[in-house]
Structure 1
């Protein structure tokens, strides 16, 4: 049993590109203890970092953090305890706080390993079925996904809890049993304690078949996503907008699938049926000359000139930038990307970023005269809510470039300069669309 699990664990990790660091999410429970033990046997210790999140929800929370730190110390591994303060004691609130804590420590190229196992997957499948989930939801817990600037991976997802218990007992591992896991007032606990044992007794092997079903549904979901992404590549404009005119000839079902996929790729939000119908009613079915918008949590979906735009709700005033340098500059409502280029702005010396106000004029290269910045943005089809604070590059009072639109006369070069582009949150989300 032990050798087989270690072999399966290694095989899972061999499917991945080698990360810069391996981060081990360690609660001290059975699954995380087995994960820690396997990782210590398999991965280079100098690239392992053990992370424990203290939610401060249980009286024993501090002792669990101490247990985790001691386990890492016994193995000679680095350990960090992260404090999290969920907004409530619900499972969802704790989960959100936990992932925010993980993201706070992750850097580019990290891989976070978590100990979710096969029983968790079967629970999720049944839980979502009872809630009326679609194909995406019934695909269960994903084996891997992007997280912040790194990757999240669950190498134990194909192993059942009884296998992990046998492994832990064989190696004399100790673990913490969270008393809240025995309370069936939580929906998942109710399924785990009262439903799954009955199903397994009536249909032996139920868990293995549940795992196989989740894998099959996941494969179907990935195939559907491939087809949808192919369609979206022809439906998404240069600003990341979803063109409604081109979708008009599709069936309603296909349109709804494309809309769901567009929102998922751009924000990570999975639309439910009521949200989808609200978008249809409020945005798509609105009169042709309307510019409606719909708030969904921290997002705003807007319609403008027969296209939908996915934006973030703005908080605070957009920022200026007094000095420019190569790289990505985050500015509150978006980011400015400055990259070396053969053709572009000839210098960054003395150049600052200021927000458009009104009345600014410039002389774009190749235009043959002066024009207002407002006219340039109109010609580029920039939506009104983005035009209001579009960034301008200036030297003193002179506009030298409009990022993403033009470079001005006497400031351009064809022998080595800088390309400067602006990505508002509406535009920066297009980076999530690998299809573009």
Structure 2
């Protein structure tokens, strides 16, 4: 497009036209792109609210301290407050340094954005082209190829990218025309970083053949974003039919086409706030869990998450740590409670009006907490004979994979209670006796 300063000012004004009179915050590195954005934001003639800047100090390169000082000085010249936020970029987790720095940067920005504030960042059309290519090379779907959205909710406010319709050359001409000064980051020439390799080696060759590739990629990303919105709306409709209480109906899921099954599963998993599984794992959920004749033993696991099935219920839960069930644990003070460890929550006893354990047994005997070893039986009040725990769990619809994690309370070596589910008749409080009820708190879902 033909470029002039007024075009950039109009684009910025349009980007913030519908957000009301909110405060603005520019993510300011001191480089060319954010310098142009900060200058344009300062010149928003109709804006009457506060404008400030945040500079993220990554601490990776030797000149990081100098850049922070220069960024603050540049903002001070313009009468703009600039907060310098240091971050720790963790290396060695398997992700690239670029990705680790990006995650650290946005985490810090999100933490420091005020409620209702609008964060402006200076990504432009060439950045969008790089993002689309990187996502394409990773085999991304519609969500990845939608690349960077123009706006999105961010912390307690909003994140807006008003410069996606412009290229790097446009911002250079804008900055030059206004006599702006900016910092030059030598790491932008480091070909070890994927974006730099695309920017300096691959994209110049593509542009020789297809000069309009950057604006075309911006349009493609916008088209993918629109398609993504339709998929999200479809997933919401399907979730309303198949979902309940954070679970999915296997029967309802089976009635959908395979693409809709995958689409719904992605929405369901995202709603739990966990990392999305690889495509192969997503397909395994459909084939091995949803498609299994009997779902009790079927599961798919990735990272710290697992998906299981119980009857018609598809369940997603965090992966629980191994349980040390080698020996019962003493419980010297049942009223004070007992932390069970292993993400098992805690047990405590409280005074009950009726029912529960007889307090005489609870406070005079040796109380211990353990787990199933096999063969345990319990005679419940009103039953003529004892019943095996396996049968009790089955009748109570306890998930098969959780039955070995239900805590058992022993008094003087005898099974007295099964969590807060059942009390053995021999230890139950008689009418008029002081009774204590067991409470199993903060435990994982068992049925």
> TM-score by structure 2 length?
0.68
Aligned-pair CA distance for 1:46? 5.5
Distance 1:149 1:234 in 2: 31
Task: Summarize the Cα distance change of 1:299–1:167 in structure 2 as closer, same or farther, 3 Å threshold.
Answer: farther
Say which of 306, 311, 319 aligns to 2:312.
306
Q: Are the equivalent residues in 2 in contact too, given 1:112–1:151 (CA < 8 A)?
A: yes
SS of corresponding position for 2:159: strand
Are positions 1:220 and 2:220 aligned together? no
Task: Summarize the Cα distance change of 1:27–1:263 in structure 2 as closer, same or farther, 3 Å threshold.
Answer: same
Q: Are the equivalent residues in 1 in contact too, given 2:277–2:302 (CA < 8 A)?
A: no
Aligned to 1:118: 125
The list of structure 1 runs, each at least 4 consecutive aligned residues, that deviate by more than 6 angstroms after superposition, is 358-363, 378-385, 387-391, 422-426
Say which of 169, 174, 180 aligns to 1:167.
174
Give unpaired runs (5+ residues) of structure 2: 322-342, 355-391, 408-418, 421-434
Alignment of 1:167-316 (within 5 A): 167-238=174-245, 240-267=246-273, 269-280=275-286, 283-286=289-292, 288-290=294-296, 293-312=299-318
Q: Are the equivalent residues in 1 in contact too, given 2:36–2:171 (CA < 8 A)?
A: yes
> TM-score by structure 1 length?
0.70
Say which of 131, 142, 162 aligns to 1:135.
142
Q: Which moved more, 1:131-140 or 1:279-288?
A: 279-288
Aligned to 2:89: 86
Aligned-pair CA distance for 1:383? 11
Distance 1:109 1:287 in 2: 50
Are positions 1:25 and 2:22 aligned together? no
Q: Are the equivalent residues in 2 in contact too, given 1:26–1:52 (CA < 8 A)?
A: yes
Distance 1:359 1:282 in 2: 44
Q: Are the equivalent residues in 2 in contact too, given 1:182–1:189 (CA < 8 A)?
A: yes
Task: Summarize the Cα distance change of 1:184–1:295 in structure 2 as closer, same or farther, 3 Å threshold.
Answer: same
Q: Are the equivalent residues in 1 in contact too, given 2:113–2:156 (CA < 8 A)?
A: yes
Q: Are the equivalent residues in 2 in contact too, given 1:312–1:425 (CA < 8 A)?
A: no
Structure number with larger C-alpha Rg: 2
Q: Are the equivalent residues in 2 in contact too, given 1:356–1:388 (CA < 8 A)?
A: no
Q: Are the equivalent residues in 1 in contact too, given 2:146–2:225 (CA < 8 A)?
A: yes
Q: Are the equivalent residues in 2 in contact too, given 1:288–1:306 (CA < 8 A)?
A: no
SS of corresponding position for 1:109: coil
Aligned-pair CA distance for 1:237? 0.2
| Root mean square deviation, CA, Å | 4.3
Distance 1:28 1:235 in 2: 50
Aligned to 1:71: 74
Give unpaired runs (5+ residues) of structure 1: 316-332, 334-353, 364-374, 392-396, 404-421, 427-436
Size of the aligned set, in residue pairs, is: 363
Aligned-pair CA distance for 1:80? 1.2
Task: Summarize the Cα distance change of 1:35–1:292 in structure 2 as closer, same or farther, 3 Å threshold.
Answer: farther
Distance 2:20 2:289 in 1: 42
Q: Are the equivalent residues in 2 in contact too, given 1:242–1:308 (CA < 8 A)?
A: yes
Q: Which moved more, 1:257-266 or 1:135-144?
A: 257-266
Aligned to 2:155: 148
Distance 1:134 1:168 in 2: 36
- Which string of whole-angstrom CA distances, capped at 9 and with x for unpartnered residues, describes residues 123-143 of structure 1? 111221122111111111122
Q: Are the equivalent residues in 1 in contact too, given 2:254–2:290 (CA < 8 A)?
A: no
SS of corresponding position for 2:13: helix
Q: Which moved more, 1:280-289 or 1:171-180?
A: 280-289
Q: Which moved more, 1:64-73 or 1:143-152?
A: 143-152
Task: Summarize the Cα distance change of 1:362–1:53 in structure 2 as closer, same or farther, 3 Å threshold.
Answer: farther
- Which string of whole-angstrom CA distances, capped at 9 and with x for unpartnered residues, describes residues 24-44 of structure 1? 211111111112112222275
Q: Which moved more, 1:133-142 or 1:291-300?
A: 291-300
Task: Summarize the Cα distance change of 1:221–1:356 in structure 2 as closer, same or farther, 3 Å threshold.
Answer: same
Are positions 1:10 and 2:13 aligned together? yes
